[in-house]
């Protein structure tokens, strides 16, 4: 079955530090990969996505590259801000089920950015 493994948190960084959150996956077929973010007290929002190998998703200064050879989709940001404090979820969708593009999520990584 499909699975997503992401680095355990929590991660605490100072403002303007470099962020990497590792994510690796196991899937049948050729999945699409996503990073979702959950701010305190809120629902899930899509941060970025990539649908095929070597694609780079980017948004709000965050980036992740779909690496098929290493089955990875690591999230990076060059300079984090306090407002980036949230829980980040790596997820995949392989669309292998008929009529379903269900997401398989990792456990989430809580990021705290301190001034």
Q: Which stretch binds another protein (CB under 8 A): 15-23, 36-44, 67-75, 78-86?
A: 36-44
Measured from the CB atom, is 10 or 115 closer to another protein? 10
The distance of closest approach from Cβ of residue 46 to another protein in the complex, given in angstroms and rounded to an integer, is: 4
Q: What is the C-alpha separation between 13 and 50, in angstroms, rounded?
A: 26
Measured from the CB atom, is 19 or 90 closer to another protein? 90
Q: Is the peptide bond before 49 cis (omega within 30 degrees of 0)?
A: no
The distance of closest approach from Cβ of residue 14 to another protein in the complex, given in angstroms and rounded to an integer, is: 25
Q: What is the C-alpha separation between 82 and 39, in angstroms, rounded?
A: 12
Q: What is the C-alpha separation between 98 and 114, in angstroms, rounded?
A: 45
Subset of 92-111 contacting another protein (CB under 8 A): 93, 95, 97-108
């Amino acid at each position: 079955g499909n699975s997503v493994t992401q680095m355990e948190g929590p991660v605490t960084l100072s403002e303007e530090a470099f962020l990497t959150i590792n994510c690796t996956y196991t899937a049948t077929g050729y999945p699409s990969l996503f990073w979702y973010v959950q701010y305190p007290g809120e629902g899930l929002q899509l941060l970025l996505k990539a649908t095929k190998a070597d694609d780079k998703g980017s948004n709000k200064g965050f980036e992740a590259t779909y690496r098929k050879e290493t089955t990875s989709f690591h999230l990076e940001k060059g300079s984090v801000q306090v407002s980036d404090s949230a829980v980040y979820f790596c997820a995949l969708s392989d669309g292998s089920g008929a009529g379903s593009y269900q997401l398989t999520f990792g456990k989430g990584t809580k990021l705290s950015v301190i001034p």
